[in-house]
Amino acid sequence: MYFRCELRGSAGLSLTEAIVHPILEMEREGVEIRAESDHPLFPHRPVQTCNGILGPFGVHPSSICGEVRFAIRGPDAGRDAGPVRAALESGLAEYVARYGDKAGKKFERHYTWAATGASEAVVTVHGSTGHMGSLPDNDAAITKWAYLAASLLELKHGRPLPLSLELLGMDGQKSLVLEGAQGFLPTHAIEEVKRRMSAAFRRGIERFTRLTGRGPDSLAGTISFDKLHNDAFACDPASPSMTAAREAAVLAGAMAEDEQLLGWNVSCDARLFAGEHPGLPVITCGAGRLEHAHSEGELLHLPELFQAVALTALFLVLETGSYAR
């Protein structure tokens, strides 16, 4: 399910700072939904909150954003030591404790610091891209940025310290858009997920207005789910058709005979057929890997394609009874 959030604020309000807590609240709600997602076909719980686009950064709601750049402005903000750098490291430590440290694998470092003067620094937050289904193996730059920015906001309002945060390319903009996707399993209805993510977005706005002491009318936010909103579904894994598909996969060498049968990690058009024909099994299979989908290095291995062709042909003859078991 894709979401689109938009913030508009009164004069003098930083939309960059205002979006931080909505991102974190929606992320926390996604964690709660995942914890509740107990389904026998999905023991691995492929339930992700993907922040794909933030202002000028990112390319697609369900593609992990690989880079966010923002400026920190204020007295001594450009110093390579002191409270600002300490706050960045504190936010990074909290992020790494929750999501793991993937630096040195798909990117060299979590962020790059560049002082542009005594009172300004530009920080580039690094991540690694891919389809939202590959989030456990990648690193989400927007979510990481939100942790860093939240730590800086604590410093700003706790001391207080005259700091300002701005996404590069956002100076003077009257609105800021966040787009992403929330995964869910057949354990949750899509309307419930919409309601909960909407409430989380509003909580984030309220948290920001309390933190800054601004009135509720100083910041307006909207959230919609118009782009893609696919309900989750599951069919009977013991159906005759699924038994034939599993046998075809084993014969084609695409699946071990004792391999556990799992549900598909992400949404696809199969849900259309499942909705139109609820009494029929709907099976998803094919070539390719999620780690490559929607990434900068998207590819398809030809041997996997040939294997998928063999699997499909074997399934057809098994399903139609043209091949004696």
Tens digit of each residue's pLDDT (9 = 90 or more) over 192-210: 999 999 999 999 999 999 9
Q: Are 205 and 295 members of one domain?
A: no
**Structural domain span for residue 262:** 240-319
- What CATH code is carried by the domain that includes residue 262? 1.10.150
Contact by Cβ (8 Å): 85, 113: yes
- C-alpha distances in angstroms, 78 versus 72, 90, 120, 126, 184? 8, 18, 5, 20, 42
Q: Are 135 and 263 members of one domain?
A: no
Tens digit of each residue's pLDDT (9 = 90 or more) over 214-257: 887 889 999 999 987 777 777 788 889 999 999 999 999 999 99
Q: Are 170 and 255 members of one domain?
A: no
Rounded distance between C-alpha atoms, residue 241 and residue 125, angstroms:
47
Q: Are 102 and 35 members of one domain?
A: yes
Q: Are 90 and 183 members of one domain?
A: yes
Rank 36-40, 103-107, 144-148, 301-305 by mean pLDDT and report only the highest: 144-148
pLDDT of residue 134: 86
Look at residue 325 and tell me whether its pLDDT is greater than 70.
Answer: no
Can you give the pTM of this predicted structure?
Answer: 0.83
Q: Are 68 and 152 members of one domain?
A: yes
Q: Are 244 and 215 members of one domain?
A: no
SS3 state of residue 8: strand
Q: What is the mean pLDDT of residues 177-203?
A: 95
Look at residue 286 and tell me whether its pLDDT is greater than 80.
Answer: yes
Contact by Cβ (8 Å): 203, 105: no
- What CATH code is carried by the domain that includes residue 71? 3.30.70.360
